Structure 1
Amino acid sequence: MYNAARQGNKTVLKEALLDDLPPNLTNEKGDTLLMLAAYYGHADVVKLLIEHGADPNRLNDKRQSPLAGAVFKGLDSVIEVLLEGGADPEYGTPSAIQCLSMFKQEGKWAEKFETAPGRGKAKAVPQDASEERAPEKFKA
């Protein structure tokens, strides 16, 4: 499933989600399917995962958010989908807002980040709740 997210295989992921794949499935580094899809630039897969309940604010083990990763990589369509899906630009280390400054993108995104529906709404997920594992039928 992680490769499907990295490769943007929407069909495989959609079928798996309809067959009870946890939308916040997390790998050994704390990366969710959504984090991987976002980082590799697959806005359509990011949207699909959010529509199926994936948390756009789930941080990985390095406390990075999908939105900050998308800013780092300059993935405009992914940034748009994440903001529409409730991503909080203030959340994570560094936050997406801090990434805007680091990568000199304030002019491009500052206003949208200011008015983002999810701004200031992310809540920390307890460590033991951050790891969702795939049911046996999805392993292999």
Structure 2
Amino acid sequence: MLSNIDNFYFKKEEPLQSCLLALKEIILSQNKDITSAWKYGMPFFCYKGKMFCYLWVHKKTLQPYMGIVEGKHFNHPKLVIEKRSRMKIMLFDADKELPVKTIQLIIQQAIDLYKTGVVPLKTK
């Protein structure tokens, strides 16, 4: 039986499925402390146990996107806030090649927020 996370990816039609799976791999490959989790009915990625990004499909445009939980703390021209107060998203075209270097840069910026203490990590 597939997990909720696996179901999320494998129930999507192509090219959406391949795009989301590629995004998942790009995110997980950025740092050994990044883990995948199922939270709020969607695939989240945590850095040292703290949620920092997630994948979803935009309701209006049907485009896949990566949401950055603490996106309000930094600016990047590819990140949009829409009507969110805290999170910013980066939309993708599932039919086009992913901008891997831009994704990696944004993920590193998000991780840096946690490393520098701007966003506190959980203490055990």
Aligning the two structures, in what range does the TM-score lie when normalised by the shorter sequence? under 0.3
Q: Larger helix proportion, structure 1 or 2? A: 1
Which has the larger strand fraction? 2
TM normalised by structure 2 equals: 0.25
Q: Which has the higher contact order (CA 8 A, sep 6+)?
A: 1
